[in-house]
Structures are given as structure tokens and as C-alpha cells.
């Protein structure tokens, strides 16, 4: 969870370093690719999860990076109507595969923290209109 670059790999013509921020962005992109993810969560601000756009993908991600391994925590908001365990499992697999393919690091764990469920505006409008007519 530090800002220091990972240990470097030495090749015959120089060194290769991967900054933790790079891994955070890879994990964030891999997370929002999963169907059912509404966005990344920056945590709880005033008791409510903060939905972050694509420009802030790394804000909902924390990584620990060693010389050959990485551990990742992602905080997400899921779209209403999806099975939370299934979406979380897909996030874990997609994040692990993306980081391992792009960096060569072994991902030892991917922890998914679901901070909120986002309702579709159309569904919310229908629910509000139904409840508005019940009691006057």
C-alpha cells in the first residue's frame, strides 16, 4: 500500500520497475469491465459510498506489492439486481488475470469490498410512483 516502486527486475540492458499505482489502475480497469459493477467506491464519505468515475479508477483500489507477488483490495458499487457473490467472484478472477498477464506478478489475493448497491433511475422512478399512490 506504499507509493514506492516495486523491487526491480534486472535485465541485461537495464532495470524494470512497476509502480504500485500502475497495478492499481490495472485492477480498477479490470473491475469496471465486469458486468454488474456500477463503479468504484472511494469509501464512506459522510456515511454514503462515493461513486467514482473512470478517471479515478485507482481510488477504489489498494495494493500491496512485493518482488514477485501482489495482494489487491477493491471497493465497488454493484448495480441492483445482480447476485453479489457472482459479481464479486468475477471481479476476483478478472483482476487476478489482468494483473498477472500484464505485469508477470503472481496475485495471491483479491479482496472485494461491496460498499453499496446502485439502483437504475428508471427502476427508482417506478418504485417512487407506486409508493406515492398508496398513501395520501
The model's pTM: 0.76
pLDDT digits (tens, 9 = 90+) for 58-88: 788 999 998 899 999 999 999 999 999 999 9
pLDDT digits (tens, 9 = 90+) for 26-56: 999 999 999 999 988 876 444 444 555 545 6
- The residue whose grid cell reads 458499487 is 77
Residue ranges of domains in the chain, CATH in brackets: 9-132 (3.30.70.1350)
Classify burial at 37, counting beta carbons within 10 Å of its beta carbon; exposed 0-12, middle 13-18, buried 19 or more: buried
Amino acid at each position: 500500500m506504499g507509493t514506492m516502486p516495486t523491487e526491480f527486475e534486472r535485465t541485461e540492458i537495464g532495470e524494470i520497475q512497476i509502480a504500485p499505482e500502475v497495478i492499481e489502475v490495472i485492477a480498477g480497469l479490470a473491475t469496471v469491465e465486469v458486468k454488474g459493477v456500477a463503479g468504484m467506491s472511494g469509501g464512506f464519505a459522510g456515511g454514503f459510498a462515493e461513486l467514482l468515475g473512470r478517471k479515478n479508477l485507482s481510488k477504489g483500489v489498494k495494493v500491496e506489492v512485493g518482488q514477485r507477488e501482489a495482494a489487491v483490495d477493491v471497493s465497488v458499487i454493484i448495480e441492483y439486481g445482480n447476485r453479489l457473490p457472482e459479481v464479486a467472484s468475477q471481479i476476483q478472477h478478472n483482476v487476478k488475470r489482468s494483473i498477472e498477464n500484464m505485469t508477470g506478478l503472481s496475485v495471491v489475493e483479491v479482496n472485494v469490498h461491496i460498499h453499496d448497491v446502485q439502483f437504475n433511475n428508471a427502476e427508482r422512478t417506478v418504485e417512487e410512483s407506486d409508493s406515492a399512490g398508496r398513501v395520501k
